[in-house]
């Protein structure tokens, strides 16, 4: 689910306890945000399904 607050996009996903707050497309993510997203992807085994 996506929610926009000011110039940030707030992302949630069913089954994932953490909430991600990112800048919109076209802007550079902060290093801590990249680390946060990467940690969540790894923790919940999320990613692109290569079979599609």
The 10s digit of each residue's pLDDT in 22-42 is 777 677 788 888 899 899 999
Q: How many CB atoms lie within 10 A of CB 20?
A: 15
Whether pLDDT at 18 is above 60 = yes
Which residues constitute the domain of residue 23?
2-43
Burial class of residue 40 (count of CB atoms within 10 Å of its CB; 0-12, 13-18, 19+): middle
Whether pLDDT at 10 is above 80 = yes
Determine, yes or no, domain membership for 48: no
Total domain count, the chain: 1
Determine, yes or no, domain membership for 18: yes
Say what the pLDDT of residue 1 is.
58
Instruction: Report how far residue 40's alpha carbon sits from residue 52's, in angstroms, rounded to the nearest whole number.
Output: 22
Determine, yes or no, domain membership for 15: yes
Determine, yes or no, domain membership for 50: no
């Amino acid at each position: 689910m996506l929610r926009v607050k000011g110039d940030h996009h707030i992302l949630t996903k069913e089954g994932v306890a953490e909430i991600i707050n990112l800048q919109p497309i076209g802007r550079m993510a902060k290093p801590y945000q990249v680390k946060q997203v990467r940690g969540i992807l790894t923790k919940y085994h999320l990613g692109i399904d290569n079979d599609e």
